[in-house]
Amino acid sequence: MTSPLYLAIDTPHLDAALTLAQRVRHHVGGLKLGLEFFCANGHHGVHEMGKLGLPIFLDLKLHDIPNTVAKAIQALRPLEPAVLTVHAAGGRAMLEEAKAAAGLNTKVVAVTVLTSLDTPDLQDIGVGGSPHDQVVRLAGLARETGLDGIVCSGQEVKAARKAWPSGFFVVPGVRPSNGTAGDQKRIVTPAQAMTDGASILVVGRPISQSEDPDLAARAIEATL
C-alpha cells in the first residue's frame, strides 16, 4: 500500500532537495514541489526529482485568467505531475479550463483557504464567514467544474468528504502532536486528518527540519 504521506520540498537548492528525498523515499508516498523549488529549478528540477520514482505533486497554485492558466498547464503537461494545484478563487471558467488542459493522469485540485489564514484574515480580503464556510463553498464549485478534489486544512476535510465522497482531498499543515505550528493556523494531527477523510497529507518542516528526517517520516507514518 502506498503511503498517503507526501513530503513538501520547500528549498530552492536541487542538491539539498534530492538528498532529503533520497533519505526518506521509502517512508513517503510522494514529493510535493512548490513555488520556491520550481522558481529556482523549473522543468529540469522536476525531471530530476522524478527520477527517484515517487509521484510528483506540483503545487504551483495557479491563479489567473482562464486562458493563461490553461496555457500554463499545457506547458506543464510534459512533466506529467500526479497532482497539480490551482486556486479555487479563480472562478468557474478558470477551473473548467484548468481541468481540460491537464493530462489524463494528472489530478487537478483546487486550493480553497490557505492553512495560514483564519477568520480575521478572510475578513481583511472581503470574504465573509469562517474558513469552514469558505472551504465548503469552494469545494462545491470545484466539484461542479469537474476537478478531482481540493486542498483544505484538516479542520474542514471531514465536512468536505461528507459532501463529496468521491473527492480527492489534500491536507497540508498537519503537525504531529508534539510539533510546533509555525505559520500554520488551522492544524490537526496526521492521524486525525486521515480519520476525517484526507486522501494525502503534505508534511514539510516536521520532517525536513528534523535532525533525522527519515526517523521523523517513519514516526509520522506509524501513526496513520
- Answer yes or no: are the C-beta atoms of 108 and 167 closer than 8 Å: no
Cα torsion for 79, 70, 105, 196, to the nearest 10°? 110
> Which residue in this structure is represented by grid cell 496513520?
224
Active site residue 61: yes
Which of the residues 51, 61, 158, 185 is marked catalytic?
A: 61
b/e map 95-119, b = 16+ CB within 10 Å: bbbbbebbeeebbbbbbbbbbebeb
Residues making up the chain, counted from first to last:
224
- Angstrom distances, CA of residue 24 to CA of 55, 116, 127, 197, 222: 14, 26, 39, 24, 14
- Coil, strand or helix: which one is 57? strand
The catalytic site residues sit at 61
